[in-house]
Amino acid sequence: MTISRRILLQGTAAASAIGTFHIGTASAQTPEFSYKYANNLPLAHPMNVRANEAVEKIKAETKGRVAIQIFPNNQLGSDTDMLSQVRSGGVEFFTLSPLILSTLVPNASVSGIGFAFPNYDSVWKAMDGELGAYVRGQIGKANLVVMDKIWDNGFRQMTSSKAPINTPDDLKGLKIRVPVSPLWTSMFTAFQSAPASINFAEVYTALQTKIVDAQENPLAIISTAKLFEVQKYCSLTNHMWDGFWFLGNKRAWERLPEDLRAIVAKNLNAAAELERADVAKLNAGLRDDLTSKGMVFNETKADPFRDALRKAGFYAEWKKKYGDEAWGILEKAVGGSLS
């Protein structure tokens, strides 16, 4: 299945079918396991399209024994609310950025260190390899289940309603929304910005009412969340790579017989890999779409931003917080010293 930009912007019949009801082939059989999956992304985002396909396959392959409802677009609350719900069992599954997950699992955010990954090849080598395995081990210690394959959110870009961001100096004093995560706050504080931690569900309004003047997200989210309506400038900084770990409530997961767990995990991991290709393709092609909507783009170079963070002590601070083991795995993954 190839997902075009048109599907991203307008949604699809498959995505439109997602909501607060069971998804899958109609069946008279009452499911033995009815689970809820919550996320914070719009219906048309590839994650929801691919998740919809996965739950259809799960229902078919388990012969109707496992039915998963999808609750997209923060229907069940903010990221922090849903993280609490997946821990308590209020929902059984939830996808979350490792950077926000770090409020519970501190070292989960090591993959999001600013200006660490130069390209997607280095990302997948790390996240499907030693770095991903390390982070999953940390998540497991927090009594959560996590699937093997991380889903893609994309490289993050900075947008502003005031002016383009070309150099680190352009970030000084800028009121910028960041997710509720210490790593983001720390990075933009190092740039001498004025970061404000705001849940994603409130971002559009915060930009519209000028509580903040800027934000940062991958192009696919800037598009699907219509942030182009309240932001004029988009600076292609690629300052962080971000993804989504597919998390499960441990008690709910362990209620599934082993054969059903294998079917669920297989389909969710396969969907993650398909979604990665979709998001990379969309983010690469969305510049023209967003330009047509009035956004003005500029490209930046990573080195001046990386140097500014190094001089501000950002890398040294986070190396100390994560510890030598995690930092060593990260530097090995990106092929060089950051600090």
What dihedral angle (degrees, nearest 10) is formed by the CA atoms of 201, 206, 208, 212? Answer: -140
Burial of 50: CB neighbours in 10 Å, binned 0-12, 13-18, 19+? buried
Range with the lowest mean pLDDT among 11-20, 37-46, 166-175? 11-20
Nearest to 14 by CA among 28, 29, 5, 3: 3
- What is the rounded average pLDDT of the residues 242-264? 97
Q: pLDDT confidence of 4, banded at 50, 70, 90? A: low
At 122-142, the pLDDT tens digits run: 999 999 999 999 999 999 999
- End-to-end CA separation in angstroms for the chain: 42
- Residue 12: is its pLDDT beyond 70? no
> In the numeric block, which tokens belong to residue 269?
């991991």
* 59-83 average pLDDT score: 95
For range 58-84, the mean pLDDT = 95
CB burial class (10 A; 0-12, 13-18, 19+) of residue 75? middle
pLDDT score at 8: 52
- Tell me the C-alpha distance between 267 and 59, whole Å: 10
